[in-house]
Amino acid sequence: MLAVLWDHICTVPGLVAFLQRAARRFDVSSLVIWKRAVVLLLRYGFRPDEIASSGLVNPADAPRDIVFGKHRLTWYQRQYNPIQWECLVEDKAVFYAYCEALRLPVPKVYAVIDRDGGWTAAGVALSTRGEWQRFFEYELPDEFIIKPAGGVYGRGVNLFRREGAAFEDFSGRRFSPAALYKHLQTDSTYSRYVVQERVRNHADIQRLTGTQSLQTARISTWVNKRGNVEIYDVTHKLVLGKNITDNYDSGRSGNISSAVDPHTGTIIALLGPSPDGIGYEALPFHPVTGIKITGKILPDWPATVQLAEKAARLFLPLRTVGWDIALTPRGPVLMEGNAWWDPFNHMHWPEARRRELAQFMRRFTTDS
């Protein structure tokens, strides 16, 4: 058994060296760190790469059954989310159409473009190169977002601005209408895209973060057998640098995140990846604006929670979804739903919140 665990752990390049570095950082023996890694692997379902990024190898931090490894969490998500219904959230073209039918606030969709055709918000089917070129040239606003219908982790999302007869994307590349059509049609990664409005941050979010890139609150909900909506965790994702999306990606994206009290919308901790790669680092101030964000209350929080709870009920039989909700000048707006949402494991919760999480975990893992 130990030989199997060793082979499993060693599949991640650099993990062995990481665990040895962690032993030096926490001033404990390598055996103590290895024991903790095995516990995270076997008891909490952590993948080897998560063992490093979570920072939970710190012997001073006792997980106490309030954390999820991705492997363990996915098992429960499969019990709660019928696979035949996942398209309601995982296919963004379906998601936005479904939300509009349910009168849930979402970005305005201008069109869906596929290699075999597509359609516009006006219900017009488009199929030829010329039809799509005319649509791009005459029917889109000066700014719009194009995102893959089946994309994850913010990959493939792009912002376009009209510059004369061309479009300039977020990185500065210029496309004629014909070139933009060809770019979408020849993408080897994605075959279908959603063209939608650019949604803006609420003024309070803009002031705190200093970026116009959209930043969302991730609210992970679960509907128990009695039909009550419970919230597992809330984070507010914050964009740094020249990123267009707010995805955290275990710190690899360059963005940061914040732990949020689900009851009040108060930011509990501002978190970024630790410089040595071992878990999270609590940040005293926003790295760009210098503002102390901890203690700030996110705008329109009661309405934001109400929206997440309403969506959770309307999207049944999917019972657990991670909602990305933008806090905007017109109120909270649903940006995405995720049937296979990722856990956000850190140890920066106050004691009362830890007790709540432990109680939630007991219900979540016994109600299937």
Which CATH number covers residue 289? 3.30.470.20
What pLDDT is stored for residue 2 in this prediction?
47
Among residues 101, 160, 126, 80, the alpha carbon closest in space to that of 364 is found at 80
Q: Would residue 17 count as lying in a domain?
A: yes
Do residues 271 and 282 touch, judged by C-beta distance below 8 A?
yes
Q: The domain containing residue 141 runs over which residues?
A: 108-196
| Residue 86 and residue 24 share a domain | no
Residues 224-236, mean pLDDT to the nearest whole number: 95
Give yes or no: residues 297 and 209 share one domain. Answer: yes
Residues 219 and 350 in one domain: yes
Same-domain pairing of 223 and 266: yes
Least confident of 108-122, 157-171, 242-256, 316-330: 242-256
Determine the average pLDDT of the residues in 112-132: 93
71 lies in a domain?
no
pLDDT of residue 63: 72
In a domain, 245, yes or no: yes
Give the tokens for residue 176.
Answer: 């004629």
Both 245 and 279 in one domain: the answer is yes
150 domain residue, yes or no: yes
pLDDT digits (tens, 9 = 90+) for 273-295: 888 778 888 899 999 999 999 99
Same domain? 86 vs 215:
yes
Domain assignment of residue 86, yes or no:
yes
Same structural domain, 152 and 223: no
Residue 253 lies in a domain: yes
Q: Are 331 and 101 in contact (CB under 8 A)?
A: no
Which tokens hold the place of 269? 């901790």
Residue 99 lies in a domain: no
Residue at which a domain ends, from 152, 173, 196: 196
**Structure confidence at residue 9 (pLDDT):** 56
Using 50, 70 and 90 to split pLDDT, how confident is the model at 29? confident
Domains of the chain: total: 3
User: Which residue, of 180, 196, 212, is where some domain finishes?
Assistant: 196
For residues 205 and 267, is the Cβ–Cβ distance under 8 A? Answer: no
- Position 10 scores a pLDDT of 57
Tell me: do 164 and 306 sit in the same domain. no
Task: Between 171 and 64, name the one with better pLDDT.
Answer: 171
Q: What is the mean pLDDT of residues 215-238?
A: 96
- pLDDT for 64 equals 73
Residue 15 has pLDDT above 80, yes or no: no
Higher pLDDT, 18 or 168: 168
Which residue bears the tokens 């690899």? 252
User: Would 69 be classed as within a structural domain?
Assistant: no
pLDDT at 106 over 60: yes
Asked whether residue 164 falls in the same domain as residue 301, the answer is: no
Query: What's the whole-model pTM score?
Result: 0.92
Q: Show Cβ contacts of residue 297 under 8 Å, excluding neighbours closer than 6 positions.
A: 264, 265, 266, 267
Identify whether residues 180 and 239 lie together within a single domain.
Answer: no
Query: 340 exposed, middle or buried (CB, 10 Å; 0-12, 13-18, 19+)?
Result: middle
Asked if 149 and 92 touch (Cβ cutoff 8 Å), the reply is yes
Q: Are residues 22 and 154 in the same domain?
A: no
Q: Which residues pair with 196 in a beta bridge?
A: 109, 145
User: In the listed set 162, 196, 230, which residue is the last one of a domain according to the structure?
Assistant: 196
pLDDT at 1 > cutoff 70: no
Same-domain pairing of 261 and 212: yes
What does pLDDT average to over the chain?
A: 90
Give the mean model confidence (pLDDT) for residues 183-197.
Answer: 93
Three-state secondary structure call for residue 130: helix
pLDDT of residue 169: 94
